[in-house]
Structure 1
Amino acid sequence: MRHSKETLLKQFRHNSDMPDYHALQKDAKKDVETALDVWSDILQHRIDIKVQYAYAKGSSVKPWDSPVDYVPVISDLDIHIRTEDGNLFPEDESFKQAMRMSEEFESQFLGNRPKYLHIPRNQIILMGKLEQLDNYTPPRKQDVRTLFGAYQEPPLPPAARIRAIDRTNLLNEEAYLQEMPMMVLDKTGLDYWNVIRKMNWRVSPAPIRLLNQTSDNPIETWAWNRSRIIDELEAQNHHELANLYTRFYMSSWTLFLSKFSDLQAFREVVRSGYYLLQRCIQEMKHPS
């Protein structure tokens, strides 16, 4: 039986009352927009090296149809940039200038939006280094938000190649899962944040990589938000995966709303992420 997202989300109540996720995400969206504006200004006008273009991708700029689509601090603000020589700073000044840029972003953000819900967790990626990876699949132009400059969509890999990359990347997470027991056995409190940081970028794409094995258009699947992914998991009778995926992000909301003080939420996020990855790998190896 297929369950609606609303049914799944009702499992996650904070102090017996459902938070107003719509209002929370409305504030979070303003935070994201402010951060994008600040980064656009800094990358164009506040550094010495010329940035040819910058774009944002991922959950921060996809549609938010339910609470799972963006969770403050857990979700990142993913910005890709291209420079003329592939570097962002002169080598002898890289640390000093990176620290200055980080401080300038924070100062501008707080000045532009003092009553914020969260400061987005930024991730700046240099395109030149990313494109050197064998398993890199570039995004379609329609799936990114250009901040400035002109992103020229490169030739996209054929569907079979994307499926093969997704299969390899998902199966490679088995080694990570084997290390997990030793990662968590001595962890308490905020120690779990380091575990979550190493986990969340693995959890987010895992169901996509599985679904793409039977997709006629895998590049399109990569453009889906998490609500759509959950719907598709349900449609293909992956009910356990849909529940684990939902639980990971809704427990992350509980953690965020507790100001990262809820120890049970820390453990629930890690537990859900572990079993989601484990189940995705099992399904990849032995489709049900």
Structure 2
Amino acid sequence: MFQGIRELRVSRGKTALIITTVLLITAMVTLLSSLSAGLSYQSASALEHKVGSDRQLVLNDTGGTVNLSTGSLTDAQVSEVKSRGGEVVTMARSKDEEGQAFIAMSDNGHKPSEDLYLEHQPIHWMSTGEVENLPGASTFGVVAEDAKPIDGAVMLKGKNALDASASYKGEQSSLNLMIVLLYVISALVLGAFFTVWTMQRLRGVAITVALGGTRSSILSDAVGQALVVLFVGIAAGTLLTVGVGGFMEGIPMEVAANTTLVPAAILLAAGLLGAGLSIIPVMKVDPRKAMNS
């Protein structure tokens, strides 16, 4: 890595530019991932608490788009859920004395300790009778994962159950598409950066080959140089997201390992892949022609 490290020290402006670019790309990806996780929590955390990973959500099949607001169970379906050992949950939308909207939900003796949300409204846990007395009360069921189908009902598992939240599917599909596009754009930008950088090193690479440098040493030098740049930029961008996330009050952000470290690892892999691919065409160039060009 002698040549690569030496170039980083000499070309400080170029090095600072690409590190800043990597920093900004990392910050964009990790911030958007944290925002997506925060919105997911405020959209369906109460539903995820009720259904979990080993149960099914039961909603009345209305023949159209089925969600918690439109899929209230009939009396017959309520009886079917109970006969299968399931739980019938009653919910209603209301407002407190200060006019703040909330969703009342029956806890059935299992009130969670943490604050949960549904469709960006806080959950107030009440008894079934208290919720039933509120206007617009509706019901949904939760049964075991292996429970038999119920006539006239839709049975949803896993992530499909979270789609019953009116806000969850639209938000997450849009944000996830943006995150994927950012990954693609990031890979293209980083690959273009390292390709241009490598082409500028063409004469030096040619001299190294002419003096007997092996192809593997040239490849390791280029990838090692990229690793230093990527590590510094990605680490700085991740720390920026962690710092910003702690001060952004009122914005639903969840800064955790899966929203910072996982995107950082993907960006690092994409950058190293781009660096490795960018040096391959240069390694195929004839040293004499490269030095004379």
TM-score, reference length from structure 1: 0.21
Query: Looking at both structures, which has the greater relative contact order when contacts are Cα pairs under 8 Å and sequence separation is at least 6?
Result: 2
**Larger gyration radius, structure 1 or structure 2:** 2
TM-score, reference length from structure 2: 0.20
